[in-house]
Amino acid sequence: MTKSGLDTIQIATILSPYNPWWEEGKVKTEVFKRPIFNKIYKDLLSLKQIISITGPRRVGKTTLLKQIIQSLIQDGHAKPGRIIYFSFDDPLMIEPHVRERFLDEMIKWADITHKSQAVYFFLDEIQRFDRWELYLKKFYDLGFPIRFVISGSASSPIFRKSRESLLGRIKDNHLMPFSFKEFVYFNKAKDQEVLDFVTRAHDFGYRLQREMAVDWKEFHSGAGPLSVSQRIFGELNGQLESYFIEGGFPEAWEIKDVLAKQEYLFDNQVQKVIFEDLVIATEFRKPEKIKSYYLSLIEQPGQEINIEKSSQKIGVSRPMLEKYLPLLEMTDLVKTLPRFSKRPLKFRRGSVKCYLVDLALRNAILKINGSLLSDATTLGFYAENLVFNVLSRYEGAIELTYYKDAKREVDFVVHVGGKRYLPVEVKYRDTIDDLASIKYFIEKFGQKFGIVVTKQFFKPQPEEKSLLFVPLSVFLLFF
């Protein structure tokens, strides 16, 4: 190895362990494919743009890359030797004289080796390589026959740098922890009746998001989304109880010891995210204070945050706290919900709620186990958090807010444009009362209907034509 860089033999030697399909002609990876796989694979085959996959640690980004590689080979789109995977977690990247030139020389090596034939590069943990976006921009603009698929463990480095240098050249896909729907797909893959119902519920949600209308007769008919056997509903509720505890990080599911699982989640999803990813992304030098603030936020998911009171509570100035919350959002630890305003996208200073990206992290930090299922109050908070997570993915939504005035509050309001709103209230309890707030909102803003998310099936009064009552384990399948 010379100070000027790496020679051809060295590059091939470094890459070989990462690319066993060069010799074996196939990829060993997980069989289960998340729904986002089809979208990314289609984009890779049809678009010229760089494909990026961002999201929290340990949600399956590397697995997704390997599945795409597997499909490229199986479908005959590329020969195994023209698919190159590399992770910038490699210890070799510690050496400055290697790190500075490695990506540039690796791409040139591939172009020479394959005689200008199309090559697919899968670059994992790319946020660890300084100025990666400049190299990709160079080869993209020069028209090299290269397709790039990149991934990063934190959303912030990818978005911050891509905005600066890769505008119009990159298409991002944000991979989050497994949703409840994916959790059911994964665990009930062999139960066709359950899968058929999930598909039916999903199809209803698809129409709801596009049409913002409900065929009431169909909704309550035998073919409607709520038409489900007692067995299937029981299976879904059993999966929901497991999801409350296990969350959406697939690697953690394999750890059977509860304490070991909690330590794994805390170390990988909190400690490393704040003390490594956040520092890389923002060059922020006081991660301990952000960690303290994050721990204060997990006490009650969905709580309304008053910046002034919070600053006094943890001894940090208001301006610093106003800086901390966006940083935590960058790292996919929390998401915020602004207060309702009829003016789209208006953020009201000091009026915001905070939710967790995945509830398993709260369980890990607070050492919560199966006893959670007997805590009705906490389950209510958890149900609200899960509803927030799926509504955040509401297709076509302009904004998601909560409504609050001096007397009333509605948990969520989906803004879909044209003065159209979908109010959603969460009542995850054995009895349902006090629906005055959501009814008031529907009447005040001239909306056609709202949704009440319940614990069990609830039969509305015959004259009730403005509210859909949907059990949580069914509602989460809509999105």
What mean pLDDT is reported for the chain? 88
Over residues 136-140, the mean pLDDT reads: 92
Write 101-107 long-range contacts (CB < 8 A, 24+): 101/4, 101/5, 101/6, 102/5, 102/6, 102/129, 103/129, 103/132, 103/135, 104/135, 105/5, 105/6, 105/11, 106/11, 106/15, 107/135, 107/139, 107/144, 107/146
Residue keyed to tokens 């099936």:
457
Over residues 397-420, the mean pLDDT reads: 94
Percent of the chain whose pLDDT exceeds 90: 59
Q: pLDDT digit string (tens) for 193-207?
A: 999 999 999 999 999
**Dist CA 224 CA 247 (whole Å):** 28
User: Residue 281 pLDDT more than 80?
Assistant: no
Which is nearest to 410 in space by CA: 382, 378, 443, 376?
Answer: 443
Rounded to 5°, the CA angle 434-437-438 comes to 105
Residue keyed to tokens 């805590």:
375
Q: pLDDT digit string (tens) for 354-373?
A: 999 999 999 999 999 889 99
What angle, 0 to 180 degrees and rounded to 10, lies between the N-to-C axes of helices 180-187 and 192-211?
A: 160
Over residues 374-386, the mean pLDDT reads: 96
Q: pLDDT digit string (tens) for 284-309?
A: 667 787 888 888 889 888 988 877 77
Three-class secondary structure of residue 47 per DSSP: coil
- The helix or strand, by DSSP H or E, that contains position 467, with its residue range, turns out to be strand 467-471
**What is the distance between the terminal CA atoms of the chain, rounded to a whole angstrom?**
52
User: Residue 4 pLDDT more than 50?
Assistant: no
**Dist CA 61 CA 125 (whole Å):** 10
Residue 108: both structure tokens together: 């040139």
Query: What string of DSSP letters covers 278-344?
Result: HHHHH--S-HHHHHHHHHHHTTSTTPEE-HHHHHHHHT--HHHHHHHHHHHHHTTSEEEEEBP-SST
**Dist CA 264 CA 251 (whole Å):** 9
User: Residue 429 pLDDT more than 90?
Assistant: yes
pLDDT category of residue 347 using cuts at 50, 70 and 90:
very low
pLDDT category of residue 322 using cuts at 50, 70 and 90:
confident
- In the prediction, which pLDDT does 3 show? 45
pLDDT category of residue 2 using cuts at 50, 70 and 90:
very low
Residue 187: both structure tokens together: 């665990």
Which is nearest to 148 in space by CA: 166, 128, 130?
Answer: 166
Residue keyed to tokens 């966006």:
326
Residues 6+ apart with CB under 8 A from 403: 339, 340, 409, 410, 413, 423, 437, 441
351 vs 270, residue with greater confidence: 270
**Dist CA 469 CA 458 (whole Å):** 6
- In the prediction, which pLDDT does 337 show? 95
How many CB atoms are closer than 10 A to CB 216? 13
- In the prediction, which pLDDT does 1 show? 45
Q: What are the backbone dihedrals phi and psi of residue 132, each rounded to the nearest 5 degrees, phi first?
A: -60, -35
- In the prediction, which pLDDT does 312 show? 80
What angle, 0 to 180 degrees and rounded to 10, lies between the N-to-C axes of helices 192-211 and 230-246?
A: 80
Over residues 155-161, the mean pLDDT reads: 53
Q: pLDDT digit string (tens) for 457-468?
A: 887 766 677 899
pLDDT category of residue 217 using cuts at 50, 70 and 90:
confident
- In the prediction, which pLDDT does 202 show? 93
Lowest mean pLDDT among 179-183, 190-194, 219-223: 219-223
User: Residue 343 pLDDT more than 70?
Assistant: no
Q: pLDDT digit string (tens) for 164-186?
A: 678 889 998 999 999 999 999 99
- In the prediction, which pLDDT does 474 show? 96
Residue 114: both structure tokens together: 């394959």
Most confident of 9-13, 154-158, 286-290, 427-431: 427-431
User: Residue 274 pLDDT more than 90?
Assistant: no
**Dist CA 266 CA 260 (whole Å):** 10
User: Residue 350 pLDDT more than 70?
Assistant: no
**Dist CA 477 CA 470 (whole Å):** 11
